[in-house]
Amino acid sequence: MIAVDTNLLVYSHREDSPFHLAAKPLIDSLRYGAADWAIPLHCIHEFIGIVTHPRIYARPTPLAIAFTTIEIWGAGQNLRLLGETEAYLPTLREVAVSAQRVGPQIHDARVAAACLYHGVRELWTADRDFSLFPQLKTRNPLVATEAD
């Protein structure tokens, strides 16, 4: 299962993003595909906070539209939202300690731990900080590689 990080969700949603034209088809390929895909709930929270923030955007996304966007992503019935349980805590500990993530950096550790806990095979992200978690395979699908 592929999981998607906040930045790609924002790029896909915000038409004023310089990466919108590249990110939207990527998200749509997951939405309309047959395979399950995932978004960690942490990324859902962050997506809402970013796209609705008036200090980030001159015309922020209205809150209702942000939630509608999430509902549209899930309309294909193949989106899995990845949450936390008590059993996930050892995974978070392993990921955070091995990467020495503290303070606000713990957010990325939470995303990585949720992905690992739920068996995600690859996280799509434009955030290079996820390279600090070698347990989780990551890929920036906005950048062409030799394998593409």
Q: What is the pLDDT of residues 48-66, one digit of tens each?
A: 999 999 999 999 999 999 9
For the whole model, what pTM was predicted? 0.91
Mean pLDDT, the chain, integer: 92
Q: CB pairs under 8 A, 24+ apart, for 103-112?
A: 105/129, 107/42, 107/46, 108/132, 108/133, 109/133, 110/40, 110/42, 110/84, 111/5, 111/40, 111/42, 111/43, 112/136
Q: Is the dihedral of CA 85, 91, 95, 100 positive or negative?
A: positive
What is the per-residue pLDDT for 60? 98
Locate the domains of the chain by residue range: 2-139
Q: What is the pLDDT of residues 69-85, one digit of tens each?
A: 999 999 989 999 999 88
For the domain spanning 2-139, the CATH number is 3.40.50.1010
